[in-house]
Structure 1
Amino acid sequence: MTKVTVKDLVDQFDFKIVSGDEYLDREIITSDISRPGLEITGYFNYYPSERVQLFGRAEFTYLSKMTSDERLLIMRRLARDDTPLFIFSRGQEPEYEVLQAAAENHIPVLSSTTTTTRLSSNLTEFLHSLLAERISKHGVFIDVYGLGILITGHSGVGKSETALELVKGGHRLVADDRVDFYQRDDTTIMGEAPEILRNVMEVRGLGIIDVMTLYGAGAVRKEQQLNLIIDLRELKKDSTFDRLGTAEERERILDVDIPKIAIPVQTGRNISSIIEVAAINFRAKSMGFDAAKMFDERLTRLINNNTN
């Protein structure tokens, strides 16, 4: 898990530092955002003080109606040792007592012109992408027709060479050799390259190449959702593969089951073209058109007709 500080938020978003610019190194440990509406009314039985504290119009208006002493008392109760920062949305300027309580506990105060709901969503997504549990998988991750495809297989089977052919065909590289995955929500796995491997590829005989330099910014992307795993396997005498495409294989990544296809590798087979077809076929299935199912229904009807 990456260490995230308030400065990372300031660098990512267009925040105004109202006070506490010397405290931007405070660590944020959770992607959850708190809107302390109940706490402002005096209810502190459950106060998630370790979260980013976001003040929207409702919280700001309630605070502004308090007396100076009441406001200072509440803000001192909100400003805990583990509270990372206070953020005010919609360009609202916090009262002096907010700044005083924050300064006493070395808490930075930021302001944003963004609406509260949008700001909360943006913060949650950004923090979750950095703080979520990550796993690394060996393979090549590439965007083919908008689908994130992880190409796996034994070393030397031709993963990088296949990915290079796909990049030359207009598709986009996300990561080569090692891919870091994290779970964005209950059904979505996102993948990206480690910083040291971003935009580069290893091709046997050539070594390391910079894909963005050779093919332009349109040939790479920083991250992509994982939709499909394609496992390249050497074709042997005793190898068995699904001939109709009716057998569904899945691989569990974190808490999500990802569809998986095994493709035999043999001299003369254009694997990059097969992967393009696999991507198109996968998209067609997700839209309700399943060629294998249709063929099976035709075969069943033919058998029934011949029997009768």
Structure 2
Amino acid sequence: MVRRVLRAGLGGDTVKGALTRPNDALPDLFHDPMPDRVEPCLALLASKVPAGPDWAYEVKWDGYRLAVHVELGANVRVVTRGGHDWTHRFPSIVAGAKRLGVDTAILDGEAVVLDEMGRADFGALQRALGGRGGKRNAGEAMLYAFDLLYLDGHDLRRMEQVERRALLSHLLSGLGGPIRFSEDIAATGAELLDTACEMGLEGIIAKSRRAPYRSGRGGEWLKIKCVQSESFVIIGYEPSTVALGGIGRLALAARKGDGLVYVGGVGTGFTQASATALRNQMDSLATPKPAVSMQGRRQTYRWIAPALVAEIAFRAWTDDGKLRHASFKGLREEADEAAVYEIPA
């Protein structure tokens, strides 16, 4: 019934009515309990852009994945990918959610801070939050919403992606402010990827228009990147008397089987503030031995317990399994549940 109602009114008054008068417009639909949390649908990394009319394309936003729960209109919760309550850390998004004019809803999206070119800046977002484990709030953050999972008593996850997106578009139409609709881009996937790379963006997301919303990494959503970006464990650093924050280079590791393996280092991408804060955190985790085998490596490194996870941008892998042209983007929060890159055993 939900699908039939939406197909009859996509882009018309039926969809708008379902948003503004849900109880009148959809009187024969049963009420679905509102889930306390929804495990997010995750994008599977792909090397090529899928083509054809069954795929829609969006910009890949570089920030923190969030679910925004609106409960009884004025009560708003902001939940991270890892299930942590970060409502207090995104006051602007909370304020925007209270203006939606719905009784209940769950929006899926990405919190970002934009740079002067209008690009999502992960480092700026982290600085706004006070760094990893910081206590500040990101008042300047906005949410690019790309899916609608629940609306006024109805669980929308079983509906097709194109239908959920139509409802979300109408919900956000004309509102402006800190919650914005992540638009489909009217171009072929290959054209959009080329443009995104030219603009210095991270990449694009391709989504199956007819797929329901499924938690996990099932392939209905694909991510195609301009520059690779993954999470790695910091296992040590090389001190420097001239580099920012005294960090000459970080030593990084990825998961392999039940352990960790060294994948190279990174010495760029820091600011004075981020490097100084990172140095202080690393010094508090000092340990006499590295967490992985470092035979033949320089002994000038200071080793730390493998407790910090860094987001690293890089161009490629070398033939011996090391990162090439790597750059530090920031530390990942435990609440963001960023998975450490895993090398096949």
TM over 0.5: same fold? no
Which structure dedicates a bigger proportion of its chain to helix?
A: 1
Tell me the TM-score normalised to structure 1 length. 0.21
Q: Greater relative contact order (Cα 8 A, min sep 6): structure 1 or 2?
A: 2
Tell me the TM-score normalised to structure 2 length. 0.19
Q: Larger C-alpha radius of gyration, 1 or 2?
A: 1
